[in-house]
Structure 1
Amino acid sequence: MSLNKAVFMLLVALFSSFARSQSGNAEKRDSLLTQDLDEVVVTATRTVRQLSSLPLPVTLIPQEQIARTGVTRLNEILSEQTGIVMTPDATIGGGEGVQIQGIASDYVLVLIDGVPVVGRSSGNLDLSRFAIGNIKQIEVVKGPSSSLFGSEALGGVINIITEKPTSEAITGHVGHRAASFNNQNSNFSLNQRRENFGYSLFVDRMSSDGFDLATGDNGQTVNPFVNHTLNGRLFFDVSDKAKLFASGRYFAQEFNVAPSTAEEQDANAHLRLDHDASGKVNWQYELYYTRYVTNEQTVDPIDNAILMDNDFNQQLLRPEIRYNRRFGERNTMTLGLGYNWETLDRSLFAEQVTFDSQYLFAQYDFVPMEKMNVIVGARFDNHSEYNSQLSPKLSARYNFSDHFAVKASVGSGFKAPDFRQLYLDFTNVAGGGYSVFGKDVEAAGIQRLLDNGEIANLVVDPADLGARLDAESSVGYNLGASFKKGKLSTDINFFRNDFRNLIDTQILASRTNGQNVFGYINRERVYTQGAELDVKYRINQHLNLAMGYQLLYAFDKDKEAAVEAGTEFARDPQTLETIRLARGDYFGLENRSRHTFNAKVFYEVPKWDANANLRVVYRSRFGLTDRNGNGLLDPWDNSFVDGYALVNLALGKTFYKKYEVRLGANNLLDFTGENPLAAQGTQVRVNPGIQFFTRLNIQF
């Protein structure tokens, strides 16, 4: 018997035995079957659960809130949520990623209808490529979620849930949004449900002239672009007990960077069959395929010489089977197993590379006593390129009354070394000749440079070249409480995430041209900890207030210990004096703000069929990178961005129940800021400034 099969049979036996012992404890109706669909989530447990009953920290962004804000892309709506920050890369114009509880975007898994999207050419996933005009809600699970979703869910999960057709009549909308920088966004949707068959179609087109954050340079920070999104879905009830879902999505984008070229394509196909074998047993069979392709060619505008080719072709195929079994009325066991086949063909790699892995997971969601809910689960991943991983998780919620509850969870997460960290073989000729090698090719790369006489000094022991990279791992803790009574709703959550074996770059050798050769190594031990507070208050039927605050501490443990031991120093750039750092001088990890705050006011005027909302997002100061060479952020670094607030306003009115006009401004106070990494004598802004928009939407 194989290891996978043995582990799977053991988990089935343990969970089945435990479930039978609990089946007589519950007498009430199953809450999973009786909830208002507007208040349920599926990502946290991979089953339908009421949001207010979960023992985990979860953020739900409903369709109505998205529509009222007037935003059109995933990154825009996420940036206004508590504990979620859109962070710029340290490089100017390097894009931005999403940060959850201080955990970087590399470790946050993004899903559409429960299946993953790919396309992380440099770690970050560009969330601006996801149109949100046809979604029902966005679900964000904070903290390690590898017990259900495996690699990349080390820091959390963002799941985009698309809406389903419900009306027998043909319904849909057509809309157009015009905004600053000649940003034009048109979309169209069509939905219908007739007896046992339903379908939906969504088409979106966006174009922009882009913008430039840096003055006096050639080109723009964001180049002019045009992109298209096409999403079609089919729903078919094969019988009373079997339901079929099929979906296809295609995204294409082109940038105007002549004489250079840059384009990307993102396509996926998703097929799922839900089978209710009995009143207590449900099977789900899923097949998913996705492909992400980019073609970039950098051309010298003077002599048209090709400076760099960067082609990227990533594919993922994943079949999965899930089994749900109810015991009694309130206890549910979930078992699942699946297979991942992933391949990447990239011009910066010596050859096409392939991963494959097998996984199984188990979860038991039960009510051991009347006021308590417990969820216990684990996942086992067997991967072709790194050690097998076991990711357990335990969470619990206790309702002291109808209004007050406490909840706690602890779980582990992991992230496998990615293709780039294993197979990258890159020399930047245009950038001075530095080289970067992935772990599996670094020995051959160094030997090639030695044979060519291009190595001046080898920094590492040759015996260490090519040593296996371990998967990055974390353990996350969350402890919270919620109070909901009348018009007031309050949630507070304390969190801590401890990380081991984070993959960092290291210098392998120095080249004869004065540049370095870089590789990857397991080195960093870091942690993030803090608290999140969400408060919602309904002043009256038409006026709602919401506020959120996050306090965050994020540190490298080794650097923290070195500072406390008095072995870390900094040089004052003014006096050139060398200063021993004290504990209070260590600011923390890059791109993390100690304080973030958001406030939202939503107001409705029913007699005018109008509404308005004002949203404020604040980030306190943060450092982009170490500038004085001691490997940490301290007061003598000059890479800090000052704290700032973004104020967004949207006004909407509906005419004749079908025609909606929405006007607004994002960054109403016209904040631009200044990037401290700009070269001397130049100015680089953090934000392009105020962005006005207007939108017309017609429902039918």
Structure 2
Amino acid sequence: MSLVSLTAQAEDIQLMILNQDSLPVPYAQVRLENGSGLVADIQGRVALPHSFKEQVVTVKAIGYTITQIRLESSPQQRIILKEDPKQLDEVVISATRTSRFIDDIPMPVTIINQEMIRQSGALRLSDVLREQASLQLTGDHGVSVQMQGLSSDYVLILLDGEPLIGRTAGTFDLERIAVANIERIEIIKGPSSSLYGSEAMAGVINIITKDQKGKQIGIQSRYRSFNTLDLGATVDLNGEKTDLSVFLNRYRTDGFDLNPSLPGQTAAAYKAYTLQTKFGYKFSDKLRFTLALRGYQERQQNELASIVNGEVIGLRTTGRQTDFNINPVVSFTPSSDLTITYRNYLTGYETLVKTWDEFDNVSSDPFNQTLNRNEIQTDWQWQKNHLSSIGIGYLSESVDALRYEGLTRFDAFYLFGQHQWTQDRSSLVLGFRWDQHSQYGQRLSPKASYQYNISKNLNYKVSIGGGFKAPDFRQLLLNFNNAAVGYYVFGNQRLQEGVEMLQDRGLISQILIDPSTFGQLEAESSLSLNTGFTWQKERFKVSTNFFYNDINNLIETLPFATLNNRQQAFTYRNVSSVFTTGLELESSYQWRAFNFNLGYMYLEAKDREVLNAVREGQYFRVNTSNYGGLFNRSRHNANLKISYLNNAHDFDISLRGLYRGRFGFADLNGNLILDMDQEYAPGLFSLNASASKTFNDNLRLEIGANNLLNQVIRQDPTNPGRLLYVGISYQLTK
């Protein structure tokens, strides 16, 4: 919606927008029938031309029910807005780091609210994201997510706006996040490096936890297939000046096995515990302090089999991973148009993996990563349609592990700025971020987004931005030997000494690529375009988004030598550029108590260097029509959701169909590209259903099934087959 300030004239209609306590609602937004709009001042006042009498206008403000009224001829009118915390689901924070309505965000945004999370039967974050057509989940070092064809390395995962660390081979395992206390999930598509820096090249997933009001206690439990039990409890003690929320969760599962003929399980049995608390204190109307704490611990065990020189060796493993977050925030609002926020964020991630062979010889692999960030952000509403933000920060990140030599550390200083300009029928967001990094030097990431309201039902959005991803510790400093299998991996800066060590031990049989030609790793960079239309009329809405991502200096893993045991030694280098392009479609329709939602994504993801080589005939019997592009990407993804909500009897039913098209899985002919039908994993259709009933507003029972048709393919280790579950929750509210 576009906003414009008008000067009140004598014949104007004077609106006074108030809450239920007769207090003014500052900067409430008023939409006119012609699609244009106005914004109230700090006293909740707005002036409309007398010619608008008897027309219907829409009034909305953050935290209040959207209200439609027909204007009267009276020169002064009062509009009372009803508070509605659920309406906050329509507010987006991640896209601009300021609160804005989703209709006013000039970039592709998806919001997953509490109702969607509950209907999915989700226990962990992966369960929720799996039902999004615009995302693809993969099983590489845990359950990870792809966005617009870009892998998990390029998707930044935030918890209440702060980054979560602890990636294995670049993958953040989504199973680490419980969902019972999630308020909503914001998915921002396209590079967000202008606000969040490295790892946000593909986009951002911000997990926003619940911020309850009042005093209440709730307990939840859900049991599902594979002896999986999820227990949770929430406690909220909130007063006039003090807020306190506590969330506890215990999760256990026996795991599952898709190949019983081999030792061990596809997904190991494990137990996980989560503790999260939020504390807030309001010193005055101008000064507020909040402190968020989170702790997570997981323990697992499994059995494996390794083959060395043709001999099968049984292995037994145990693992422990722990992470914590500490996030104090001070917010100072000296005036209604100025806010200064200081944030400190300390997070740590630790793992310890122990492996026993059949002779009880044990090896340990400890890993410890920490990140500390200090940041100040200033937001200045210097006119009603101009909001400027500027921030400055410093972060340090360190890793201590046997696989690296000693304690390694990165430091970075950054500066970011953003301006949001809203006019009559359009809005513009301009932003940048400048980083000075101790390893890869300076980096500037710009972004521009624009929205134009063609009519009251149709708007157009376009967003262009640059992103970057710095080489991580693994790619620069890794010194790793898998003793069970017999391969080596060296970071780019450890390559020369690694080659010398292997040669001294007489382990190399052939050098495949001269290590001296690799050079120093450069940061990966991208240029991205997102553009599309949104059409909405009454209860029907359709959104389209075309995207194109161009990535340069892509860092890839490749072998540089063959060893005497026929294994290989690997390293990292900038070797190619890729592009991903496609179309996303989201539509929804509400008919009586039914809601219909349809999502679809078409994707092309290819290596430009390989594509050029194919065109030049460098690959035998490969042409542009049978070159399939990057592995593990589906060209077609779709979902269809039908839900029924009966408010009179407090029950709901949901039926959801999910389709993932075929995807490249293996290189069978040894040419290192996807070009044969046999190299594809088949497509998969999953049918999910759920139903719930609420009694006396406090007790809720639920039952459901995911993957009702029990569709399983061996190439997807994240899919265990049919999952049945039952759940119960009880809310004791004062």
TM-score (norm 1): 0.90
* CA distance 1:459–1:641, shift in 2 (3 Å): closer
The CA distance in 1 between the partners of 2:169 and 2:714, in whole Å, is: 24
**Contact (CA 8 Å) 1:56, 1:395: kept in 2 or not?**
yes
Equivalent residue, structure 2, for 1:404: 458
2:207 aligned with 1:160, yes or no?
yes
Deviation at 1:324, TM superposition (A): 0.6
Unaligned runs of 5+ in 2: 1-35, 42-59, 65-86, 304-315
Equivalent residue, structure 2, for 1:535: 587
**Contact (CA 8 Å) 1:477, 1:495: kept in 2 or not?**
yes
Deviation at 1:517, TM superposition (A): 1.7
Deviation at 1:333, TM superposition (A): 0.5
AA of the residue aligned to 1:144: P
Deviation at 1:29, TM superposition (A): 3.2
2:421 aligned with 1:366, yes or no?
yes
AA of the residue aligned to 1:136: E
* CA distance 1:584–1:423, shift in 2 (3 Å): same
Structure 1, 531-540 or 218-227: larger mean CA deviation = 218-227
Map 1:577-656; keep pairs closer than 5 Å.
580-635=621-676, 638-656=678-696
2:393 aligned with 1:338, yes or no?
yes
2:536 aligned with 1:484, yes or no?
yes
The CA distance in 2 between the partners of 1:589 and 1:32, in whole Å, is: 45
AA of the residue aligned to 1:439: N
Equivalent residue, structure 2, for 1:687: 719
Q: Alignment partner of 1:558: what SS?
A: helix
**Contact (CA 8 Å) 1:55, 1:409: kept in 2 or not?**
yes
Equivalent residue, structure 2, for 1:319: 374
The CA distance in 1 between the partners of 2:515 and 2:727, in whole Å, is: 61
The CA distance in 2 between the partners of 1:438 and 1:190, in whole Å, is: 46
Structure 1, 64-73 or 477-486: larger mean CA deviation = 64-73
Equivalent residue, structure 1, for 2:19: none
Deviation at 1:26, TM superposition (A): 10
Equivalent residue, structure 2, for 1:76: 127
AA of the residue aligned to 2:413: Q
Q: Alpha-carbon deviations, 1:48-87, whole Å to 9, x = none?
A: 0101111100110111221233212111111111311112
Give the counterpart of 2:279 among 234, 258, 262: 234
AA of the residue aligned to 1:598: N
The CA distance in 2 between the partners of 1:439 and 1:672, in whole Å, is: 39
Map 1:136-535; keep pairs closer than 5 Å.
136-167=183-214, 170-257=215-302, 259-300=316-357, 302-306=358-362, 308-367=363-422, 369-431=423-485, 433-461=486-514, 463-464=516-517, 467-535=519-587
The CA distance in 1 between the partners of 2:188 and 2:116, in whole Å, is: 18
Q: Alignment partner of 2:262: what SS?
A: coil
**Contact (CA 8 Å) 2:416, 2:434: kept in 1 or not?**
yes
Deviation at 1:523, TM superposition (A): 1.0
Unaligned runs of 5+ in 1: 1-24, 570-579, 676-683
Report % sequence identity.
Answer: 38
The CA distance in 2 between the partners of 1:582 and 1:252, in whole Å, is: 49
The CA distance in 1 between the partners of 2:504 and 2:149, in whole Å, is: 44
Deviation at 1:426, TM superposition (A): 1.2
Give the counterpart of 1:668 among 695, 705, 708: 708
**Contact (CA 8 Å) 1:27, 1:329: kept in 2 or not?**
no
Q: Alpha-carbon deviations, 1:358-384, whole Å to 9, x = none?
A: 1110000002x3101000010001111
Q: Alignment partner of 1:148: what SS?
A: helix
AA of the residue aligned to 2:40: R
TM-score (norm 2): 0.86
Deviation at 1:557, TM superposition (A): 0.5
Deviation at 1:215, TM superposition (A): 2.3
AA of the residue aligned to 2:410: F
Q: Alignment partner of 2:610: what SS?
A: helix
Give the counterpart of 2:174 among 124, 127, 130: 127
Deviation at 1:32, TM superposition (A): 7.5
AA of the residue aligned to 1:647: L
Equivalent residue, structure 1, for 2:33: none
Higher relative contact order (CA 8 A, sep 6+): 1
2:717 aligned with 1:696, yes or no?
no
**Contact (CA 8 Å) 2:298, 2:320: kept in 1 or not?**
yes
Give the counterpart of 2:160 among 110, 113, 118: 113
**Contact (CA 8 Å) 2:249, 2:275: kept in 1 or not?**
yes
The CA distance in 2 between the partners of 1:434 and 1:393, in whole Å, is: 42
The CA distance in 2 between the partners of 1:33 and 1:231, in whole Å, is: 26
Q: Alignment partner of 1:295: what SS?
A: strand
* CA distance 1:163–1:564, shift in 2 (3 Å): same
**Contact (CA 8 Å) 1:663, 1:694: kept in 2 or not?**
yes
**Contact (CA 8 Å) 2:142, 2:174: kept in 1 or not?**
no
The CA distance in 1 between the partners of 2:533 and 2:337, in whole Å, is: 32
The CA distance in 1 between the partners of 2:718 and 2:285, in whole Å, is: 55
Equivalent residue, structure 2, for 1:19: none
The CA distance in 2 between the partners of 1:475 and 1:238, in whole Å, is: 44
Deviation at 1:685, TM superposition (A): 7.0
**Contact (CA 8 Å) 1:665, 1:693: kept in 2 or not?**
yes
Deviation at 1:256, TM superposition (A): 2.8
Equivalent residue, structure 2, for 1:11: none
Q: Alignment partner of 1:260: what SS?
A: strand
The CA distance in 1 between the partners of 2:717 and 2:510, in whole Å, is: 39
Equivalent residue, structure 2, for 1:575: none
The CA distance in 1 between the partners of 2:606 and 2:463, in whole Å, is: 22
Structure 1, 80-89 or 396-405: larger mean CA deviation = 80-89
**Contact (CA 8 Å) 2:143, 2:175: kept in 1 or not?**
no
